[in-house]
Amino acid sequence: MSTTLPKICIADDDFRGRQLLADLLSPEGYQLILAQDGEEAVALALVEQPDLILLDVMMPKLNGYEVCRRLRADPGLSQVPILLLTALDDRRSRLTGLDAGADDFLSKPLDATELRTRVRTIIRLNRFRLLSEERERFATALALSPNAIVITSPDGVMHYRNAAFDELINPVQCPSVVSRNLFDAFPPETIAALRTRAAAVLAGGAAASSVETLLAGALRPETVVDVSVGRLPWGDGPALQFILRDVTEKKLLEAQLLRSQRIELLGQLAGGIVHDVNNILAAVLGSAQLIQMGATERAPVLLDNIQSSATRGVNLLRQLLMFARGSDEALVEVLPGGILAEVASVVRETLGRDYEVSLQIDDRCPHLTADPNQLHQVLMNLCVNARDAMPDGGKLLLSSAHRILSAADATQLGGEARAGEFVVLAVRDSGTGIPPHIKVRLFDPFFTTKPAGKGTGLGLATVLRLLRRHGGFVHLETEVGAGTCFHCYLPLQPPAAPPDAATAA
C-alpha cells in the first residue's frame, strides 16, 4: 500500500470556497488538487487517483451528483471516498447524493474542526480498507500459488506455509518438517548451501542463485525441487521466504532429451563405426580361414590376430554402449586427461583415416568433481561438430589446461565467464570456421545449419546445459576459414546439485 501523503481533490466553482478549503486542510500535510468545476474534477481524479474527493453540490455544467455518478462508473475510482459539500440540508438532497454514490455530507458553512476530523477519519478508514484488501489478495496469492511457499525465521522455524508445500511433504515420514523447521526437509549438503544463501540474503546481499535438491520425506519418492531464498519483514525482525518449485517432471524430460541426443550422436557416428567393425571382422574371418586352410606354421600369429581384433571390437562396442545407455553416476573425482584419452580413442575409431586426432594433456591439471558420462557427451558432441566442419578431413586437437581467471580475465572472455579456478577442456578443429551471423545462434536449441534429417540442433545446446549443470561455461574462438575452438571451463567443485538419475542420465 502507498505510504505517500494522502491526496485530496477539491472541486468548487467558487474561488473563495476552494481557497477556504485549501487553507483549512493544508496544515494537515495533505497533497491538495484543486478543480474549478465538475468536468475538471473528473479529469483530475482520473489522472491523480486521490484518496478523497470533496465536491460542492451546486456547480455549473456538471453538478456534484453527476460527478459522483461518473466517478463511480470508473473502475479505478469506484471505491474512492466522496464527501459532498452543500448548503442544502433537506432529506431529499441527501438521498439523491447517496444514490449518486457519495459517502457522506458536510453542511455549509463549514466548521473547521469538524472538516479536519471528518477528512482524517475517512482517509484513515479508506487506507485501512485498502491495506486489508491488499493483505487478503496477498494471502490468496500465496495460498493458491502452484509453488510451495514457506516463510521462516532466520534459523528455519516456520511462520507460514501454503497448501502447495503441504502437498509435497509426507507428514508420516517427515513430521518435524510439518510441525517446525524447514531445513529438516533437505539433505545435509543442501542444508549447508541454503544456510549460506540465507545468511547472505539476511546480511543485505543480493538474492543468490537457486538450489536444485532432493526433498526429504516427500509424498513422491525422488522429488526434486528448485529452492530460492529471499528476505522480507515479519513482525519485529526479518524473515526468510523460501519458494520451492517442483522440477521432478522437468528433470525426467531432460533425461529423455539427453538420451535422445545421445542416440542422434551415435547415428552421426554410425558410418565410422560400421567401417571399423567391418575391418575388425575382416581380420578375424581372414585369420580363421587361413587356419582352416592349413596354415599351421602361422597359427600362433593368426590366433593372436583374432584375439587382438576381437578385444579391440569388444572395447569399442563397450564404450559405445556405455555412452548410448548413459549412467546414473553421482559426481565423482575425474582425471581430465583420462576423459580426453577415452574420447580420443572412440573418435579415432569412428571418424576414419581422413581425420588426424591428437591429444595435448596438461599433467598438472587437478582432478575435477564431475559426472564423467556427461563430460563424455560434451566432448563427443564437439568432436562431431568438428567433423562436420571438416567434410574432407582435417586435424582435431583435444587438450586440457589449468587456468585461474581474474575478474579482468572474465570480463575479457565475456558471456557467462566469471573469476575462479578452472580446468579447461578444449576441442580445436582446422575446419571452415563459423560466420558471425551463425555464431550468435549457435547454442540455441534446435538451431542447425545441417540438411533435414542430418541433425536436430540439440548438440551444442546440450553442451551448454551440461556445462552449466557443472557450474561451468563455454568460450568460443572461431574465424571463417581458420578453424574453431570450443573452450569448456569447468570449476574444480561444481555447485550443489541433486544426485538424481534425471540429471545424470
With bands split at pLDDT 50, 70 and 90, how would you rate the model's confidence at 325?
low
End-to-end CA distance of the chain: 48
> pLDDT tens digit string along 8-38?
999 888 888 888 888 888 888 888 999 888 8
**pLDDT of res. 401:** 93
| DSSP for 133-180, written as a single string | HHHHHHHHHHHH-SSEEEEE-TTSBEEEE-HHHHHHB-TTT-HHHHHT
Picking from 91-95, 210-214, 295-299, which range would have the lowest pLDDT averaged per residue? Answer: 295-299
Q: Which ranges in 182-247 belong to alpha helices (H)?
A: 188-202
Instruction: Give me the architecture of the 7-141 domain, per CATH.
Output: 3-Layer(aba) Sandwich (3.40)
Q: Does domain 145-246 have CATH number 3.40.190.10?
A: no
Burial (0-12, 13-18, 19+ Cβ within 10 Å), 275 = middle
How many alpha carbons lie under 13 Å from residue 398 in its C-beta half-sphere? Answer: 28
**pLDDT of res. 400:** 93
Picking from 4-13, 52-61, 217-226, 319-328, which range would have the lowest pLDDT averaged per residue? Answer: 319-328
> pLDDT tens digit string along 157-183?
888 888 888 788 765 555 555 557 888
**pLDDT of res. 315:** 60
- Neighbouring residues of 66: CB distance < 8 A, sequence distance ≥ 6: 38, 100
Which residue(s) pair with 274 in the sheet?
none
For residues 394 and 355, the answer to whether their CB atoms sit within 8 Å is: yes
Mean per-residue pLDDT of the chain: 79
**Higher pLDDT residue, 281 or 128?**
128
| DSSP helix/strand/coil, 268 | helix
| DSSP helix/strand/coil, 400 | strand
| DSSP for 473-505, written as a single string | EEEEEE-TTS-EEEEEEEESSPPP----HHHH-
> pLDDT tens digit string along 69-86?
988 888 888 888 988 888
Question: Residue 292 to residues 283, 289, 298, 299, 308: CA-CA distances in angstroms?
Answer: 14, 5, 12, 10, 19
**Higher pLDDT residue, 203 or 207?**
203
Assign domain 250-504 one CATH number from 3.30.465.10, 1.10.150.120, 3.40.50.1360, 3.30.565.10: 3.30.565.10
With bands split at pLDDT 50, 70 and 90, how would you rate the model's confidence at 501?
very low
- Can you tell me the distance from the alpha carbon of 427 to that of 383, in angstroms, rounded to the nearest whole number? 7
Domain boundaries, the chain: 7-141, 145-246, 250-504
> pLDDT tens digit string along 380-439?
888 888 888 888 889 999 999 999 999 898 888 887 888 889 999 999 999 888 888 887
Sequence letter at residue 254:
E
- Can you tell me the distance from the alpha carbon of 484 to that of 468, in angstroms, rounded to the nearest whole number? 21
> pLDDT tens digit string along 375-387?
888 888 888 888 8
How big, in percent rounded to 5, are the helix, strand and coil portions of the chain?
50, 20, 30
